[in-house]
Amino acid sequence: MYDAFLKSHSGLRWIVLILAVITIIKYLSGWLQKKSFTPSDNKISLYYSIAMDIQLIVGLVLYLFLSPATNSFHIDMKDTYSRFWGMEHLVMMVIAIAFVHIGRVMVKKAKTDAARFSKGTIYFLLSLLIMLASIPWPFREIIGRPLFNM
């Protein structure tokens, strides 16, 4: 069961990252080119938000019930592995998800199309940057994982 959830979480990462990049490009081009905000602009950020939420659920199942890295709930702050999996990854990803949801609210509340695109670009870009910093990339010593955990 652990392997299935870990592989799902690893695979979903790519969907989330692709949706993040598409959303940011769409919002940034809308902002820079002074486009009108359309329902498709709203939908792409909605899909990004939904993908993030699904990733959170899969990640929480891993974190709370399945992962040998976090099953003891003992975080040794001096141990890079324990600290990353027990705290850093979870906290930073929750912050990234919060930025996506805050961005969606800010886009909905904005009065002009330019404000919608600018606020969306900023919040969605922040979420992407935090995610990129929190992913256990293969080049990261001790915590690194394969790009494709299939």
Q: What does the alpha-carbon distance between residue 65 and residue 107 come to, in Å, rounded to a whole number?
A: 35
- Band of residue 85 on the pLDDT scale cut at 50, 70, 90: confident
The reported pLDDT for the residue numbered 83 is 86
Provide Rg for the chain, Cα atoms: 17
3-state SS string over 67-120? CCCCCCCCCCCCCHHHHHHHHHHHHHHHHHHHHHHHHHHHHHHCCCHHHHHHHH
The reported pLDDT for the residue numbered 150 is 61
Would you state the torsion angle of the CA atoms of residues 34, 124, 122, 137, taken in this order, to the nearest 10 degrees? -130
Note the pTM of the prediction, 2 decimals: 0.91
- Band of residue 86 on the pLDDT scale cut at 50, 70, 90: confident
